[in-house]
Chains A and B, each alone.
Chain A
Amino acid sequence: AQSVSQHNHHVILSEAASLELGCNYSYGGTVNLFWYVQYPGQHLQLLLKYFSGDPLVKGIKGFEAEFIKSKFSFNLRKPSVQWSDTAEYFCAVNPYGNNRLAFGKGNQVVVIP
């Protein structure tokens, strides 16, 4: 079945540590890729997106993601996290020509000051 996989659903790390969240998808063909973030009590916000071009995408708040087509992956990274990065992070895939987003289960990230 087509799916989006996010592992390590709960991540706890200290400030200044590096963060990497994995995202793998099983859709074939062209896809658009997204990372969304939901801070406590807030709505889902777009962190970054990839449609085409440079596979290394830079988003808001120092986040970046790399699209590796051969691995069907779109991993999210941040070199040095802050307490304010405590949030839930969702990877999402939009198969080209489809009007819906397919989400992973999310990663709950807690940054300890």
Chain B
Amino acid sequence: EAGVTQFPSHSVIEKGQTVTLRCDPISGHDNLYWYRRVMGKEIKFLLHFVKESKQDESGMPNNRFLAERTGGTYSTLKVQPAELEDSGVYFCASSLLGQGEDYGYTFGSGTRLTVV
């Protein structure tokens, strides 16, 4: 089966610009998660979708970040306006409903965002 796909793989933008990251989960996976790794730090949870609904968005750093999941399929994460501290690698992961961390979900390769 196809894995979790994220694009772009790399993005370099200027401070103040807008960037949209996309994640295509494995088909049929209702759980979708976003995580972020800032350089030198641990990977941190951002939010969790179940189908199109936000189950937990407590990890979102501030209101410059907006995540959506259209029709319960792919998800986008928009950063507007981007700040220097938003630089990092953004990971997406998906799993079947009823699975998730208990079973180890499937990660994408990540999007490396650099804000200059």
Contacts and interface: CB of A to CB of B under 8 A. Distances in A.
Given A90-B43, A103-B44, A42 B101 contact: no
A105 interface: yes
Classify the secondary structure of A's interface with B.
strand
A43 B33 CA distance: 15
Contacts of A45: 107
Contacts of B101: 32, 34, 92, 94, 98-101
A4 interface: yes
Interface in B94-114: 100-104, 107-110
A44 B102 CA distance: 16
A43 B42 contact: no
Contact of A34 (B4, B45, B104): B104
A51 B99 CA distance: 13
Interface residues on A, range: 20 to 34
A94 B56 CA distance: 15
A101 B91 CA distance: 12
Interface residues of B, number: 26
A100 B109 contact: no
B27 interface: no
Nearest to A98: B101
B103 A49 contact: yes
B103 to A, nearest CB: 7
Contacts of A4: 42
Q: Which of A42, A94, A98, A101 has the most CB of B within 10 A?
A: A101
B42 A105 contact: yes
Contacts of A101: 35, 43, 45, 101
Most buried by A among B44, B93, B101, B110: B101
Given A100-B59, A103-B42, A43 B102 contact: no
Interface in B21-74: 31, 33, 35, 40-45, 48, 55-56, 59
Interface of B: 3-4, 31, 33, 35, 40-45, 48, 55-56, 59, 91, 93, 100-104, 107-110
